[in-house]
Amino acid sequence: MSPSSPPPLLSMKGVTKRFFNVVALSGVDFDVRPGEVHAICGENGAGKSTLMKILSGVYTPDEGTLSWRGEPLQAATPQAAQARGIVMIHQELNLVPHLTVAENIWLGREPRRGWFVDRAAQRAGARACLARLGVAIAPDDLVSTLPVAQQQMVEIAKALSMNAELLIMDEPTSSLTDAETAALFKVIHELKRAGVGIVYISHRLDELAGIVDRVTVLRDGRYIVTKALAQTSIEEIVSLMVGRALDDKFPPPTRVPTGQTLLEVRGLRRRDGIGPVDFTLRRGEILGFAGLIGAGRTELARAVFGADPVAAGTITLAGRALAIRSPIDAIREGIAYVSEDRKAHGLAVKMTVAQNITLANLGAVSTGQGFIRFDRELAAARRYIEQLGIRTPSPDQVARLLSGGNQQKVVIAKWLFREARVIFFDEPTRGIDVGAKYAIYELMDRLAAQGIGIVLISSELPEILGLTDRVAVFHEGRVTRVLDTRATSQEEIMHYASVRGDTAAASNLASLDT
Amino acid sequence: MNERQKDLVQKFAALAGLLVLVIVFSVTSSAFFTLGNAMTVALQVTSIVYLGIGATYVILTGGIDLSVGSILALAGVVAALAVKAGMPVAPAMGCGILVGALCGAINGLCVTRLRLPPFIATLGMMLVARGVALQITGARAVSGLGDAFGALGNGSLWRVVKLDARGFPDVVFPGIPYPVILMVVLAVLASILLTRTTLGRHIHAVGSNAEAARLSGVNVGRVVLFAYVVSGALAGLTGCVLMSRLVTAQPNEGVMYELDAIASAVIGGTSLIGGVGTISGTAIGSFVIGILRNGLNMNGVSAFTQQIIIGLVILVTVWVDQLRNRQR
């Protein structure tokens, strides 16, 4: 580009990587300059993670060259990469829960005094890194006692402590609140000024504008283009990623919400102090649960579903009072919950797609004696694979090998096969690429149009605004307001998410995000 | 290649390993590849298979059962004492199996209700059951049980004996021992339950992801309890068969048998994390152990060397399995 630009920290030319016969990356040119944030965009399966693993020395490319500050790089190893100052922050956290924050930050590189760990230096170093991030985490806290968002900050602090020259961040904001994201961006700006190069991967494209200098787009393992952010737009990036123009982020609604009350929850309280919460869900509508992380949205949904114990309150479905003591009771009544963390709570990853789809309703594909009719199971699985457009080579594929969006569809298929009347979707599009997101939005609308009541828990306000009919706003375990989606705005939702109710004064967001 | 084909390849690899063992031992020892020895091996393997089936069920749910060796001693001793007290053999052995199932149920409740780690719960049962078996017998063997008590362990089906010219009996066909028949029937039933029924599917689901299974409406506690009851009942049965074979009830019988059971499951491809494993694999694993012991014996390899070899076989098979899993 411009002749005045500094030489790149790391650059790759024509890099190709194959696994057996599958080409994961082909002919990729990529470079990062000091003090630059370079985003890699692409759908799941586009080759982002392969590229990251080549950058961080996990994989060696089959073709092409890598160089570090102009010097050609030979077969790289993760250790060699780290010694050069290439540090990767994984999306899935790599912390030891039983150790303290300071111990985690210095794990494997403990400052020593003689034969012993220099605890004071360890603590001081940790405190300095955390202060640079501007987060209120004590170095002596056990990591297991911290919420996920703060654990993420510890992970970033750890990278800071390694004096990284090239930082690779994989979806760093996926579990952060807006305030924490803002704090992270401040740190990124500071790192840029210090000449650190940053490779940034995120599905939240709207974030890019604040921090990114250049964008490289990958699609199906192929290198598409590298552009300066100033010379492109989010719309253009998305269409390059998908290979077609996406006119709208959200599908036009086909559903017509009715006035009929389907699910009514009154005075529901959990033992951990969340609640009391009242809300009603109407037949055929999508009700949003908005609020900050930790406001109790997931907890409330789990309580209605029977996954966690309830202390008090009533749940009425289609006029009938329910006694829900376990998910078995909820499922029998037709209430379903699509969990936030698919791999931990939603999917039996070692089982096949077909087995996952029928898991909640095995009786429907079995004889009276409990023998599974494999022909019926396969037919049911095929039906939903086609209906939801699940991309899998066969119904017998192990669920673990599917992409995130397709795994999510398998979980949804499970509940459709169970003929659920109410479905809670908890962050259904987290970690899912743009094309698959749209498909899931469409699906939710279609389900609502069939008369299913849908609750959408989402931390992405555009998603709430683009998809729901009404929004219940949560703050500190209670619903502060139920708003009509068409008549509200991001600002109004954020207001009610940040204050106790109408009367409470608007207070500082940052102080409430813990 | 899809997963099912991969599983088949894996199974054929194990089976091929078994065949190689058979061929090697047939070459090195003339007495190995005979009908009589085949029956001996089959008989020796039966107890490993019974216990291995139970171990497979428990390990599939993500647990472990260390108590089966002790439970089998307690069950056999209870059956023998019942016979001594005047009970007919069949109901007495039924009592033995019931005692095994009860011990299994206690294991299961400790795991599901008290939320003890399976290792600890069954370690406790291992000590308790052994202690009770020694206590109620005064640590002495119970003998003088009569011929009927030995029928299950020593009898066989289709035994053909001819008297030769001088009136001495000549065994034309040794028959198929009852324990071997029982082994085949149990393995087939256990395999059908695991692969073809909703309960079997739930066992896999619990082992694959217990939380996902719970949130899908699977009664996780009941499924886990069932696995431990199966393991306990099969240990009880093993006890009855073993004591019947000796026509004596030994409270010291079955020490370390739980390790053979776990080893057979693991050699057969059962994952200790849960969710993956088959009865056919466990049966193959049992025969690998049984044939190794038998063949090494015939070649005059000392018992100590045998232990070393079997230990190495376990390490290598599990390592190969890990490699295979890492590749995908």
Could you give the CA distance from residue A203 to residue A40 in angstroms, rounded to a whole number? 10
Of B2, B217, B275, the CB nearest to A327: B217
In this structure, are residues A324 and A330 in contact, taking their beta carbons and an 8 Å threshold? yes
Determine the pLDDT at residue B81: 96
Amino acid at A29: D
Q: Which residues contact B188 (CB under 8 A, 6 or more apart)?
A: none
- B2 contact residues in A (CB cutoff 8 A): 393-394, 396-397
Determine the pLDDT at residue B324: 66
Could you give the CA distance from residue B12 to residue B269 in angstroms, rounded to a whole number? 12
Determine the pLDDT at residue A508: 37
Could you give the CA distance from residue B208 to residue A343 in angstroms, rounded to a whole number? 11
Low-confidence ranges of chain A (pLDDT < 70): 1-6, 20-22, 44-45, 75, 244-248, 499-514
Give the gap in angstroms from C-alpha B63 to the nearest C-alpha of chain A.
Answer: 17
Could you give the CA distance from residue A372 to residue A387 in angstroms, rounded to a whole number? 23
Q: Do B328 and A362 touch (CB under 8 A)?
A: no
Does B228 have pLDDT greater than 90? Answer: yes
Residue A19 main-chain phi, psi, to 5 deg: -120, 115
Q: Do B216 and A370 touch (CB under 8 A)?
A: no
Task: Report the range of poorest mean pLDDT among B157-166, B174-183, B197-206, B216-225.
Answer: B157-166
In this structure, are residues B295 and B21 in contact, taking their beta carbons and an 8 Å threshold? yes
In this structure, are residues A81 and A57 in contact, taking their beta carbons and an 8 Å threshold? yes
Could you give the CA distance from residue B310 to residue A215 in angstroms, rounded to a whole number? 57
Residues 40-99 of B with CB under 8 A from A: none
Chain A residues within 8 A (CB-CB) of chain B?
305, 307, 326-328, 331-332, 337, 339, 344-352, 355, 359-360, 362-363, 366, 370-372, 393-394, 396-398, 401, 414
Task: Report the range of poorest mean pLDDT among B20-29, B278-287, B311-320.
Answer: B311-320
* Angle, vertex CA A290, rays to CA A273 and CA A434, nearest 5: 135
Determine the pLDDT at residue A462: 83
pLDDT category of residue B1 using cuts at 50, 70 and 90? very low
Give the gap in angstroms from C-alpha A19 to the nearest C-alpha of chain B.
Answer: 10
Pick the closest to residue A151 from A122, A180, A178, A128 (CA basis). Answer: A180
In this structure, are residues B251 and B134 in contact, taking their beta carbons and an 8 Å threshold? yes
Residue A203 main-chain phi, psi, to 5 deg: -85, -15
Residues β-bridged to residue A226: A216
Could you give the CA distance from residue A458 to residue A429 in angstroms, rounded to a whole number? 9
Q: Do A351 and B211 touch (CB under 8 A)?
A: no
Residue with structure tokens 């940034």? A200
Mean pLDDT of B255-284: 91
- B202 contact residues in A (CB cutoff 8 A): 362
* Highest-pLDDT range among A146-160, A171-185, B5-19, B125-139: B125-139
Query: Most B CBs within 10 Å: which of A304, A349, A362, as the mutation test of the B interface?
Result: A362
Pick the closest to residue A241 from A434, A473, A89, A78 (CA basis). Answer: A434
- The answer to whether B16 contacts chain A (CB < 8 Å) is no
In this structure, are residues A474 and A281 in contact, taking their beta carbons and an 8 Å threshold? no
Q: Name all contacts of A428-432 with Cβ < 8 Å and 24+ positions apart.
A: A428/A338, A428/A456, A428/A458, A429/A458, A429/A460, A429/A463, A430/A174, A430/A340, A431/A91, A431/A171, A431/A174, A431/A203, A431/A404, A432/A44, A432/A203, A432/A404, A432/A405, A432/A408
- Residue A455 carries which DSSP code? E
Could you give the CA distance from residue A202 to residue A208 in angstroms, rounded to a whole number? 8
- B219 contact residues in A (CB cutoff 8 A): 328
Pick the closest to residue A251 from A432, A484, A445, A430 (CA basis). Answer: A445
Residues β-bridged to residue A87: A167
Q: Which residues contact B207 (CB under 8 A, 6 or more apart)?
A: A350, B59, B60, B61, B62, B273, B274, B275, B276
* Angle, vertex CA A154, rays to CA A148 and CA A160, nearest 5: 145
Could you give the CA distance from residue B62 to residue B49 in angstroms, rounded to a whole number? 19
Of A337, A371, A414, the CB nearest to B197: A371
Tokens of A27: 């002919």
CA distances from A396 to A92, B196, B271 (A): 27, 15, 19
Collapsed DSSP state (helix, strand, coil) of residue A390? coil
- B197 contact residues in A (CB cutoff 8 A): 366, 370-372
Q: What is the pTM assigned to this prediction?
A: 0.78
